[in-house]
Structure 1
């Protein structure tokens, strides 16, 4: 665990914040590179990405405050601006970023579902880097296990999280692999799509499944008297929405069969 990577005078470089920044830059780079393929100006895509990132950071932190740490926020509201210190929840970020992005896309009359398919590459890519930050910060840890690749955090970790120092599932790294695998799949699948929005819907389904399974290895509180966490319920909703929307988009945004997938 390396929560702080570097200290230069009054400036502190947190590993979590650095990995979030790297993930955002990687996602924006990919989005700008793919933008011309769908007829969108890269600079317009950059503006959209900036707005989505701001919405995502806000949604992510609000989700964290409501779910985990309202008392700390109430005593220090300015902490909302110090996202690099940690305290971000991906699902809240996905909702916040998506809401802002959709508003921007509709306002500027951009191709919604084509951009959603680009997001299916960019979002899990950023997510993978963010989970590296989680591992370095020691958060989002897994249950105890005796597997060969189990990790044991240093004594300073127990002082922060109050958990015994025993070998645990490196669930942060499992989620990192999930993110990078989904990004690679979405990039590979781009030329194989049969309708706009297909990659994004598959991302929702696969992420919901993957996150739901990995969640069983984490020490997250269960809700509503079930063996499921908030993230698992959210994943089920994502899967359900994607399954409902899938046949609708297949009918309305299909590419011409004689030309194949036309946006590459």
Structure 2
């Protein structure tokens, strides 16, 4: 499908993390992975044998890895991996991708999540691409609802060593991505610096043991953000003890007087 767009797919998952106010590092596939609790690698089309081994080692050691359809297809020389897709990620993910079903722009499918799954049960729209896959140790979180691959796995989870690997075999609607990402963040104990309403962006930088927290209210109305400890707004020199009130389109740069983190 000519509609495959790597940057769009990366943004699909980045947005879910951004909406949860989780800081994201963009790293090379050859970068060390052990500093991260969660690695999200959508559309990882090219994977070398060394990269596949490094990801296996990362997950076996307790890491969590999430990738999507059309991953593990070719090596560094653009040669298709023999032995079935997703190539060097097949053992790690516990799946075998038998075939692809690229969808026309006007076509959609649905995935179904059963009760008791890690994401809320229900039906979610999907589009663009669907993998026809077989389970080889993984378990299905969701299945396709329509077409000749109805009831086949659409989203999978595989326990590998001390960690887990997830595979999303289609382009799901943002609502599903958000709930899946949220479930992983909760399980891994990855938290935002501050919790605000949707539309309130929070990022944090640590310098010499002190936290500087940037809060941007993208909404038009006033928002109240609870603070875990007293923080000073460097833009107004106001000390906020327990709550920050931010006007519509307002910005604050908060500094913790005591060293944290």
TM exceeding 0.5:
no
Q: Which has the higher strand share?
A: 2
Q: Which has the higher contact order (CA 8 A, sep 6+)?
A: 1
TM-score in terms of structure 1 length: 0.28
| TM-score normalised by the chain length of structure 2 | 0.29
Which structure's residues are more often helix, by fraction? 1
Question: Rg larger in 1 or in 2?
Answer: 2
